[in-house]
Amino acid sequence: MAHGPATFDALLSQTYRLYQVGEYVRALDLITHEGRAFPERAQTWYYWRTCLATRAGQTALALQLFDEALDAGLWFGETLLRQDEDLRPLQGMPEFEQRLEVCRQRQAAAQAAARPLLVVVRPGGPVPPGAGCPLLLALHGNNQNAHAALDAWRPALAEGWLVALPQSSQVGGTDAYVWNDRDWAVREIQASYSAVCQTYPVDPERVVVGGFSLGAETAVWLALTATIKARGFVAVGPGGPFTNQPEQWAPLIQASAGAGLRGLVTIGEQDIFSYTGTQALAALLKEGNIPCEMRVYPDLGHDFPPDFPHVLAEALASIVRT
């Protein structure tokens, strides 16, 4: 019996490969059929289908999918809707603009109500007397939230690590948050870090920052700039502004020389968003004499690797090893 993709991000990678060769109808059929298995990703499921239907020239279907998303209480960011090239045939149409206005109103209401959130989970075992917990500060990816991101980082608990996940207050969609404004993000992450340190017995000599996608890029930036005084970083599929302009890493890496940082970067060869930029980042870290293990997964897209629990445990131990 044939089985569909194991994760929604794997499905997106398969869909995008069809998109790249202009097979829009096949891509739409694939994500429509297989995406039903991931109801928690309805926001992205509807958005990709709307884009693919538009690319396939099926304007009525695209507007119908947009309506279904709105009826389900979902919404998409105004900037995304106005700038996405896939939606160009719809942009300016009265029918599209009416739906976009609904999204704009929902986004404004959500942003007005949004507040930063901090999710903290303690390790199961006791902390030795007089000793602090090692801390893993993990950042969700763009258009995710802290609760959804927790499962990926949970294995650190079994290794005795305190796991803290700040959630951005920059809204990107329905219950989805982004790190797009770095200054804004840094203020909130620093506040979350301070709150954790004030509330829990954190060992300041064993702090690691981690993240996925733009959360991963932000984590590396926090470590290199010593904005968070960490021993190192764990970056899964790092993507963001530096992905397309990796030379921006060079001065940060040079400035952090001698700080004793170590890191782990994982990337899938099928990662349509981050592969090239991540390769460049790894090369710059090597040139800058910052020890960083690079793990490349041939069949992986923009996702956590299947052996991440084991890889994370090894990385955390290696990063804080004296």
Residue 1 inside a domain? The answer is: no
pLDDT confidence tier of residue 128, bands split at 50, 70 and 90: low
CATH of the domain at 21: 1.25.40
Report, as an integer, the average pLDDT of 130-141.
90
Residue range 48-75, pLDDT digits in tens: 999 999 999 999 999 999 999 999 999 9
Report, as an integer, the average pLDDT of 151-159.
94
pLDDT computed for residue 2 by the predictor: 53
pLDDT confidence tier of residue 157, bands split at 50, 70 and 90: very high
Total count of domains within the chain: 2
pLDDT computed for residue 13 by the predictor: 82
pLDDT computed for residue 129 by the predictor: 58
Domain C-terminal end among 91, 113, 135:
113
User: Does the structure show a pLDDT above 70 at 127?
Assistant: no
Distance from C-alpha of 11 to C-alpha of 30, rounded to nearest angstrom: 8
Q: pTM, whole model, 2 decimals?
A: 0.86
User: Phi/psi at 205 (nearest 5 deg)?
Assistant: -90, -5
The answer on 309 and 171 residing in a single domain is yes
The answer to whether 96 and 65 are in contact (CB under 8 A) is no
* Residue 25 burial (C-beta neighbours within 10 Å; 0-12, 13-18, 19+): middle
Range of the domain at 173: 117-320
The answer on 285 and 165 residing in a single domain is yes
Residue 2 inside a domain? The answer is: no
The answer on 99 and 173 residing in a single domain is no
Distance from C-alpha of 322 to C-alpha of 41, rounded to nearest angstrom: 41
Distance from C-alpha of 202 to C-alpha of 228, rounded to nearest angstrom: 13
The answer on 289 and 143 residing in a single domain is yes
Domain C-terminal end among 93, 113, 133:
113
The answer on 151 and 65 residing in a single domain is no
**Gyration radius (Cα) of the chain, Å:** 20
User: Does the structure show a pLDDT above 90 at 124?
Assistant: no
Residue range 91-116, pLDDT digits in tens: 999 999 999 999 999 999 999 999 99
Largest CA distance in the chain: 66
Residue range 254-277, pLDDT digits in tens: 999 889 999 999 999 988 888 999
Q: Is 141 helix (H, G, I), strand (E, B) or coil?
A: coil
Reduced 3-state DSSP string for the chain: CCCCCCCHHHHHHHHHHHHHCCCHHHHHHHHHHHHHHCHHHHHHHHHHHHHHHHHCCCHHHHHHHHHHHHHCCCCECHHHHHHCHHHCCCCCCHHHHHHHHHHHHHHHHHHHHCCCEEEEECCCCCCCCCCCEEEEEEECCCCECHHHHHHHHHHHHHHCCEEEEEECCEEEECCEEECCCHHHHHHHHHHHHHHHHHHCCEEEEEEEEEEECHHHHHHHHHHHCCCCCCCEEEEECCCCHHHHCHHHHHHHHHHCCCCCCEEEEEEECCCCCCHHHHHHHHHHHHHCCCCEEEEEECCCCCCCCCCHHHHHHHHHHHHHCC
Report, as an integer, the average pLDDT of 161-188.
95
Residue 157 inside a domain? The answer is: yes
pLDDT computed for residue 33 by the predictor: 97
The answer on 83 and 214 residing in a single domain is no
- CB atoms inside a 10 Å sphere around CB 141: 29
Residue 3 inside a domain? The answer is: no
The answer on 143 and 257 residing in a single domain is yes
User: Given the DSSP bridges, would you call strands 170-173 and 176-178 parallel, antiparallel or unpaired?
Assistant: antiparallel
Tokens of 184: 């804004």
If you search the block for the tokens 């902390």, which residue do you land on?
127
User: Does the structure show a pLDDT above 50 at 1?
Assistant: no
pLDDT confidence tier of residue 3, bands split at 50, 70 and 90: low
Tokens of 304: 């956590």
CA end-to-end span of the chain: 50
The answer on 127 and 220 residing in a single domain is yes
The answer on 179 and 301 residing in a single domain is yes
Domain C-terminal end among 113, 147, 171:
113
Residue range 7-20, pLDDT digits in tens: 888 898 889 889 98
The answer on 165 and 64 residing in a single domain is no
Residue range 190-215, pLDDT digits in tens: 999 999 999 999 999 999 999 999 99
The answer on 190 and 89 residing in a single domain is no
